[in-house]
Each structure stands twice: as structure tokens, then as C-alpha cells.
Structure 1
Amino acid sequence: MNIPIIFHLTIPINNLTLAKEFYGDGLGCQVGRENRHAIIFNFYGHQVVAHMTKEELQPQKGVYPRHFGLVFPDKIAWDAIVFQAEKQKLKFYQQPKLRFANQIIEHWTFFLEDPFYNLLEFKYYAHSVAIFDKIEVNTIGDR
């Protein structure tokens, strides 16, 4: 079997129907296996498993230290996910914006909040070296 390495993430939810509406209908993720305890989404080629919890879910106080998301390979793909989120009327936690303009770490970003207070970031770097390479910039996030 020749399957590429994929990322796996588990997130808390408290309503399977809302999870399917946000991730399936809203973001266009393929819905995989599901039962009354969990549902699997194909999150753009990565596995996100939404597990039911009885714990009270609380809004986050900011994007740090916990959020997840995608880095898009080109601006056209990033623009398409912005359009999809707007069209589906998904909740923006932070509106689309350009960060660190005219720097090697310049990127476009926005955050969504799912119905369970999980924050998702979607971004596109103008210079791909900023994604993984060690460069002479120590800025990571807004802190």
C-alpha cells in the first residue's frame, strides 16, 4: 500500500450534526466513518477526528497557544478557501489579512471558529522558505 504520510488530529465536539455542517458542508471536507461518539473528516488530505465530549466547551481567550489549520501552496487556493468560508457564512474569528508585509515571513491569514470553539487558521506564505526553513527572523506568531 502506497499511502503518503498524513497528519492526524483529534478535536473535541459536543454535537455530531453541527460538526458535519461545519466541516462537511461548510469547509467541504469528506465525511468518513462515524458513530455516536466520533466522526472522521478528510481535512484536505489529513485526518481530523471529532470526538464527542461531555465536558463543557469554553471559548478560547485567543489563538495562542492552541489552534490548527492549513498552509496553502498558492494564493489562488487560499483565496478559494476564503470565498468558501464567506459563502458558507462560517464564523470568522479573525478576518483575512496580510501579516508581516514586505518581510520574508509575509503571509495572508484568517481564523475560523467552529461551533465547539476550536480555532482554525488558513494561511499562504509569499515566500515558501518561511514555512520550515531556519531563516534570520525569530518572529513566530504575535507574541
Structure 2
Amino acid sequence: MTDTPTHLPPFHLAFPVHDIAAARAFYGDLLGCPEGRSTDDWVDFNFYGHQIVAHLAPDEAGHHSTSAVDGDAVPVRHFGVVLSMDQWQGLADRLSAAGVKFVIEPHVRFKGEVGEQATMFFLDPSGNAIEIKAFADMASLFAK
């Protein structure tokens, strides 16, 4: 598929965490993701319209490698979402106010280039890397 659809189907992502209660506090309370179904070993969250599932797997959690992107050491294994600039700034402000330690501080990368974007990286309590980004022009999401 080469065109960006006007409506994207929700994606599903399962990822390991070391503590379900910590995942609930982080994704539910801090990020504001409503909780769906759950058991003692996993919990669903609505991550901006997408289904993410935190699975209890203490030995699997965390990120381990980085890759250079526009001068930043980006965690290779990460997930995230693309927000509007206003949503992105609001979340960056909320995370900063909560004392979240950023792996990569909120900033704009590829300034003046195709694909210019606001980005930030942070870790959940299990060390899983999350990237939240925004484009001033969403049409440049897949631009070369």
C-alpha cells in the first residue's frame, strides 16, 4: 500500500513488562490510556485508538540496542504513536511535570528537511522504549 488511508485500522502490539501494577500506573494513570480486558498476567490498554497489551514477562522487558538517527541514539526496539502538534506538546509538558526521565528529550528533528518532526523517547517502568512524535504536516509522514 503506497497511499496513506484516511482511516487506519487499529494495530495490536503485545510487549513484556516486569510488573502489571506498574504498567497500569504508567499507561493508565500517567499516559491516560483506558484499560480494557485483563488477567493477573496481562492487561489491554487503548493507546490512542490502538490496542496494546502489557504481558507479564520480567525476563523479556526493556530495550537493549540503539541506532543513530539525526544525532540521537534511538532505542531500536520501541513503539509509539503520531499525534497532532498540540497533543504532542501537551503530553511532553505532562511528562516533564511528572518528572519522567527522557531517553531523548522532546525536540524537533530533521529541521528544514522532508519529514521534519517533533519527537521524544522515554521508558515505561519495565524499560520498554516509547516514542511519541508529531508532524506539522501529516502528509509528510511517509515522505522521502
Aligning the two structures, in what range does the TM-score lie when normalised by the shorter sequence?
Answer: 0.7 to 0.9
Mapping of 1:97-108 within 5 angstroms?
A: 97-108=107-118
8 Å Cα contact 1:92/1:110 also seen in 2: yes
Provide the residue aligned with 1:35 in structure 2.
39
Deviation of 1:81 after TM superposition, in Å, equals 1.0
1:48 counterpart SS class: strand
2:141 counterpart SS class: helix
TM-score by length of 1: 0.82
Aligned counterpart in structure 2 of residue 81 of structure 1, from 86, 91, 114 = 91
2:126 counterpart SS class: coil
1:70 maps to amino acid: V
- Structure 2: distance between partners of 1:118 and 1:29: 16
Q: Does 1:16 align with 2:20?
A: yes
Structure ranking higher in strand proportion: 2
8 Å Cα contact 1:105/1:126 also seen in 2: no
8 Å Cα contact 1:91/1:114 also seen in 2: no
Q: Percent identity?
A: 36
What is the number of residues matched between the two proteins?
130
- Structure 1: distance between partners of 2:58 and 2:49: 29
TM-score by length of 2: 0.81
2:21 counterpart SS class: helix
Q: 1:47 to 1:117 in 2, by over 3 A?
A: same
- Structure 1: distance between partners of 2:28 and 2:97: 14
Provide the residue aligned with 1:70 in structure 2.
81
1:132 counterpart SS class: coil
Deviation of 1:97 after TM superposition, in Å, equals 1.0
8 Å Cα contact 1:24/1:41 also seen in 2: yes
Q: Does 1:46 align with 2:60?
A: no
8 Å Cα contact 2:62/2:129 also seen in 1: no
1:18 counterpart SS class: helix
Provide the residue aligned with 2:133 in structure 1.
123
- Structure 2: distance between partners of 1:56 and 1:71: 26
- Structure 2: distance between partners of 1:88 and 1:79: 14
